[in-house]
Amino acid sequence: MIAILDYGFGNVKSVWNALDALGEDPYLAAEGKELDQATHLIIPGVGSYDVAMAELQARDLFEPVACYVRSGRPLLGICLGMQLLGDYGEEGKGARGLGLIPGQILSFPDSSGLDVPHAGWNTARLRSGHPVFSGLPEHSDFYFVHSYRFVCAEPEHVWGTTDYGEDFCSVVGSQNVLGVQFHPEKSQKKGLRLLENFCEWDGKC
Amino acid sequence: MLKKRIIPVQLLIGNRLVKTVEFGDYRDVGNPVSSSKVYSDQDADELVFLNINREERDCDELVRLIQRVSEVCFMPLAVGGGISSFESAATLIRQGADKVVLNSAAYRNKELITQIGERFGRQAVMISIDARWSAESGDYKLFSDCGRTLEEVGLEEHIGNVVEAGAGEILITSIDQEGSMRGYDVRLIKRAVECTNIPVIAHGGAGNFEHMKEAFLTSGANAVACASLFNFGDNNPIRAKAFLTNYGLDFKTS
């Protein structure tokens, strides 16, 4: 059973539709105890970092998510859901993250002169060897919408990079936890392939 | 870096897909859910839906449509036509739309642009602008209400206003060229591109891939939108991209 974390901050329906189209049987998990039966967990997210973290806390989801991750079952964070995996996000008033992958979530530098949000189709260069990338080309195009990016503390956790004025980390991963900055549920065939691979992943890497 | 985009536009009356010429004289061209699925398979980069029903400007029909389309198309979806409240916009986004398209409301209620942008991000607000050349005044005139109401504001001033209010993208349509398949109004699009940094989508008049090339290379558009070109005949986004990549334009690969 694939759980989609429902904390009031996601395009939950788009993720649900994509999983449904893949023949999966997803369910929405709004409370910590609903993660017990999950074989896989997806944290979607569209919105502001500090408000989203406050919401996770208000719903007592911090510890259940940490407990889920300790069990070795696979977790996929999408967009804001990926950023929440880090230690700290500076968006809004700033907030501590879930601390599952070391790193900070910072805005794009003003000096880049590029439009923010970074919104549209762009290429992720994927590092080879991750089971969730199976069947995807090294250069794969996905749909992005975000104003902040994950600055990884450890290079080994960078599984994909994307060029937007500078190379930024568009995929992070550590053991059974994976995060993608782009929206696989909005990225047509390659996005669906990534989600399908995730649903088949045993969390080992 | 970001890719250029090819965007099929689907005009709706009720739950049917139609195609107009110069904003009138429409033909029924099919079912929008089926055509969306086909466009998705043909590697379109995004889909735009515009309700042009002049009698019924109710968003419920659009909500039902976006629910059905988002079950079969896993790509960015923009939807508009008659959106005048934050609640309608929020409902459409929660039901699967990634962007809402505002036209008439952008002249009358700039606060709405700001509200949607602040809640969902500015990329979620696409402003549609319909323009017609006026030989008398020697300039473009803007029209709201599906081309029926003349607006007093000039092109550059209006774009400046909506960008300041928080718009993320401009869809610029030439009423003169719309449905003609004679080519985009390159001069109009170039003027829109030159007065803003946000992405501009060229619309109205595409009759062949050469026209698309011109809109990208001569007017500097980030994306081209079209309806007739894909509605009638066997052209599709895959073929358009195969042609356009020869001119150094970079698109997503499927």
The domain in which residue B12 lies consists of 5-247
B223 inside domain: yes
Q: Which domain holds residue A183?
A: 2-200
Which among A17, A121, A186 has the least Cβ separation from residue B98? A186
In a domain? residue A205: no
For range B208-231, the mean pLDDT: 96
Q: Which residues of chain A have pLDDT under 70?
A: none
Angle of the B209-217 helix axis to the B237-244 helix axis, nearest 10:
50
Given CA atoms A13, A16, A18, A21 in this order, what sign does their dihedral have? negative
**Mean pLDDT lowest for which of B52-61, B84-93, B195-204, B206-215?**
B52-61
Percent pLDDT > 70 in chain B is 99
Q: DSSP code of B45?
A: S
The whole-number pLDDT of residue B17 equals 92
Catalytic annotation on A118?
no
Tell me what the pLDDT averaged over chain B comes to. 94
User: Do B123 and A46 lie within an 8 Å CB cutoff?
Assistant: no
Which tokens belong to A66?
Answer: 């940490």
Residues A27/A33/A37/A43 CA torsion (nearest 10 deg):
50
The distance of Cα A116 from the centroid of its chain, to the nearest Å, equals: 19
Vertex A60 angle, CA A56 and A61, to 5°: 55
- Output the six-digit token pair for B30: 């099919």
Residue A108 lies in a domain: yes
B198: chain A residues, CB-CB within 8 Å: 115
Return the pLDDT at B142: 98
pLDDT at B231: 86
Domain count for chain A, please give it: 1
B90 pLDDT exceeds 80? yes
| pLDDT grade for B250, boundaries at 50, 70 and 90 | very high
B142 occurs within a structural domain? yes
Q: With an 8 Å Cβ cutoff, is A120 touching chain B?
A: yes
Q: Which long-range contacts (CB under 8 A, 24 or more apart) does A129-134 make?
A: A130/A159, A130/A173, A130/A178, A130/A205, A131/A197, A131/A201, A131/A202, A131/A204, A131/A205, A132/A76, A132/A173, A132/A178, A132/A194, A132/A197, A132/A198, A132/A201, A133/A159, A133/A194, A133/A197, A134/A197
Number of domains present in the structure of chain B: 1
Q: Residue A51 domain-assigned?
A: yes
For A186, the closest of B74, B94, B199 (CB atoms) is: B74
Q: Residue B136 burial (CB < 10 Å; 0-12/13-18/19+)?
A: exposed
- Residue A103's contacts (CB-CB under 8 Å, 6 or more residues apart) are A86, A87, A150, A151, A152, A153, A154, A157, A169, A172
CATH number at A195 reads: 3.40.50.880
Residue B252 lies in a domain: no
User: What's residue B57's pLDDT?
Assistant: 67
How far, in Å, CA of B194 to CA of B156, rounded? Answer: 9
The per-residue pLDDT for B99 is 96
Taking the Cβ of residue A20 and every Cβ of chain B, the question of whether any pair is shorter than 8 Å is answered with: yes
Q: How close A149 gets to chain B, by Cα (Å)? A: 15
Among B123, B198, B199, select the one facing A145 at the smallest CB separation.
Answer: B123
